[in-house]
Amino acid sequence: MNEIKLSSKADNILSQINSNTKLGDIRKIAKEIKRDHELAMELWSTEEYLPRLLAILILDKKLLTQDLLNELAEDMQIHTYNERNNLIDWLLANQLTKSKKTIALLDSWENSPYALQRRAFWYYQARLRWTGQTPPDNTEELLTAIEANIANEEPEVQWAMNFTAGWIGVYEEKYRDRCIQLGEKTGLYKGQVVAKGCTPDYLPEFISIEVNKRKN
């Protein structure tokens, strides 16, 4: 994106953000601003992680076209692996799932040329399931696509595909063994050490733990 000369409003907001700023602080600032697409694009132009998180919260979802979302996905590549994943996940949770128009775009991203858009597609499919609601009727095709493609996908997409398979295995019993076998075959995240209270991503463990949680 072309560099934008920052307005005094943007400068003022940036003066409130530093390395000690927490995500809760970002949300608080966003709540005060509400919606301001122009300001969001100014903050985005800084190429800084925290201002970009804030920008995502104050974007006008009505103005989120495929072209703009492609630009945002490209721009995210300058960030570290964790930062860019957080940016796309934050965009998904706070904007893309909030309107029929952006959900339609999301649904078209399974084969997007942008890895972060493919991550968003798969993470959204997982979200539709882990909330415990009735899963969409596309499980068979999703699993077939995961089985065919997960081994060769980018790490950020692999994780979201694996996550989707995990929740399919938890909530749709008829696919449970297939999802466990997928994990055994790929070996993804086997031996992963996680913090106390967290569920490992290795599918046989993930599915077993999450199923048992729901029995109690």
pLDDT in tens, 96-145: 999 999 999 999 999 999 999 999 999 999 999 887 667 788 999 999 99
Show me where the domains of the chain are located: 1-108, 112-216
CA–CA distances in Å: residue 46 to residues 14, 23, 27, 50: 9, 18, 18, 10
Helix (H) or strand (E) holding 117: helix 115-130
Q: What number of CA atoms fall less than 13 Å from residue 71's CA on the CB side?
A: 11
pLDDT in tens, 160-204: 999 999 999 999 999 999 999 999 999 999 999 999 989 999 999
Q: What is the DSSP string of 74-104?
A: HHGGGS-HHHHHHHHHHHHHHTGGGSHHHHH
Helix (H) or strand (E) holding 7: none
Quote the pTM value.
0.92
CA separation for the pair 163, 204 (Å, rounded) = 12
